[in-house]
Amino acid sequence: MIRLLFITKNRHKVIEAQISIEQVGLGKFINLELLEIPKLEIQSDDLKEIAIFAARNVYKRLEERKAIVVEDAGLFIESLNGFPGPYSNYVYRTIGIKGILKLLKGIDNRRAEFVSVIVVIHPEFGEMVFEGKAQGYIAYEAKGDKGFGFDPIFIPKGHSKTFAEMNIEEKCRYSHRGAAFRALARWFASKLKDLQPLDKVSRDRE
């Protein structure tokens, strides 16, 4: 069993991450626990750079060598040159969903991408980076009240509902965060298989 401290203030993210891991049958392998401590986020156009810096800084400050995970995510809108990107949280808190819809008024290209980058630092396995993307479109109006942030205006490709109209399991199936955490889960599962006899792994999985 791998225990990871998820450094975030956002409980939604931890729940989504855990559900995503369970969706690939690896919920018994990996356990996430929320740890709310200050996280140093740098300004950068690159989510990876932000997440790696934050993870290393947190790890350095830990009193005990424990495995941690840090996520940085953003909504990148094509016709706005990637805005709001790494600053999605700030933009959500200031101009919000209304501001994004106003900026896109009269613009036909609604293509957008949600990106999640997660960085794990593990005392034994070292540092790893996983990325998940969800391609889609910005809706013409906000719909749904589930999820958080810009979920009410993001429709994943091939669907008609926004993330905020989906229940959490459905959102995780298509979301950037879901993809990133499933990649993380699979990586750890393959590592554990190498380390343990296979029958032990099968038992744990039940």
Asked about 72 being catalytic, the answer comes back as yes
Shortest Å distance, C-beta 78 to its own copies: 11
The residue within the footprint of its own copies, chosen from 42, 109, 140, 157 (CB under 8 A), is 42
Using an 8 Å Cβ cutoff, are 114 and 134 in contact? yes
User: Where in 83-112 is the site for its own copies (CB under 8 A)?
Assistant: 83-87, 90-91, 93-95, 99, 102-103, 105
Report the distance separating Cα 19 and Cα 26, nearest Å. 10
The residue within the footprint of its own copies, chosen from 40, 125, 140, 200 (CB under 8 A), is 40
Cβ nearer to its own copies, comparing 23 with 79: 79
What does the block give as tokens for 172?
């995780």
Q: If binding is defined by CB under 8 A, does position 81 make contact with its own copies?
A: yes
Q: Which residue has the tokens 């209304």?
A: 98
Q: If binding is defined by CB under 8 A, does position 37 make contact with its own copies?
A: no
Annotate 45-108 with DSSP letters as a single string. S-HHHHHHHHHHHHHHH-SS---EEEEEEEEEEGGGTTTEETTHHHHHHHTHHHHHHHHTTT--
**Residues designated catalytic:** 72
Interface with its own copies (CB under 8 A): 40-43, 45, 50, 80-87, 90-91, 93-95, 99, 102-103, 105
